[in-house]
Amino acid sequence: MKNLMFATLGVFIAVQVQATPLPAPKVQKINDRVYALLGPRGMPNKQNQGYMVNSTVIIGDKGVILVDTGFNDEIGKHLAKAVAKLTSKPVTHIINTHHHGDHTLGNIAFKGAEIISTQQCKALVEKTGYEYINIVQNLTGQKFPNTKPVPATVTVAQETRTERVIDGVKVVLWAPKGSHTPGDLMVYLPDDKVLIAGDILVNETVPNFQDASVKTWINTLEVIQKIDAKAIVPGHGPLMTKADVAAMHKRMAMLYAGVEAGYKKGLSDAEIRKTLDLSAWKKMSSFDENMGADINRTYLEVESANF
């Protein structure tokens, strides 16, 4: 009887954990057809269940274009409910800004939608999708058996700008040279003056350099500042202004220059970190998780460039 009670209690607790609601996105209206769904910040954990990304809703003539879909099928469904509160139109198109699981693994919740990404992003989703499922399961302590990688059905080449009209909305698919990842894609809405940047831009959080080309990323940030954008949606954090983009550009350029200067003095990456002014970075979320690895990644890139 005691064993049965414990078993029943275990099932009850498991159900309670599974039933914990996902954090609601912060819905920020940009105009009558463009809404940012700002997710929580921070790393995946039991509380957010992997939901820690920004998505963007673009309402077309008959359907919805959704940019980035979350880290698992449950988050995808969660975002679908948020979309349904804004419009009765179905999600007909998805755009993935890059291959990382927090931006792509919710694709599976949108059956029949056309999925758009760069060619490189598609290849990386196919290659690494199941690795990201393992990552989110390990970090949240939950299983997501219905989550499967769903790569793009339509692709654009890297280092191109492709103009399309999707369901009555003029869209520029801007695929810069790989910056945050080798397969980055930004979405510019020229009629709305809105830039949706994925993780090439993040706000109030330390960016992740894991798959980055840091020097190229810095150059991309310089180009972004020339774009006529009144609203900028980053991959993580609050909406940005062009002044915020300029500040991010300055921080990253100074970081790269500091690492390069230390390398040329013969310092190791650990020694270089002690020489850097990281006061601006320390104010941001994910500093402890990302900063050391970011310096190491920058060091390796500087080392390769000076080899």
Phi/psi for 160 (5° steps) reads: -140, 160
In this model, does residue 267 exceed pLDDT 90? yes
Task: Judge whether residue 13 has pLDDT over 60.
Answer: no
Name the packing angle between helices 242-264 and 214-224 (round to 10°): 150
pLDDT for the residue 20: 81
Per-residue pLDDT, averaged over 257-284, amounts to 97
Q: What pLDDT, in 10s, does the model give residues 48-90?
A: 999 999 999 999 999 999 999 999 999 999 999 999 999 999 9
Delineate the domains of the chain, giving CATH numbers in brackets.
17-305 (3.60.15.10)
pLDDT at 15: 39
- pLDDT (tens digit, 9 = 90+) per residue, 234-266? 999 999 999 999 999 999 999 999 999 999 999
What average pLDDT does the structure give for the chain? 94
pLDDT at residue 123 above 90?
Answer: yes
Residue 36 one-letter amino acid: A
198-222 burial code (b ≥16 CB/10 A, e <16): bbbbbbebbbbbebbbbbbbbbbbe
For the stretch 130-150, pLDDT in tens is 999 999 999 999 999 999 999
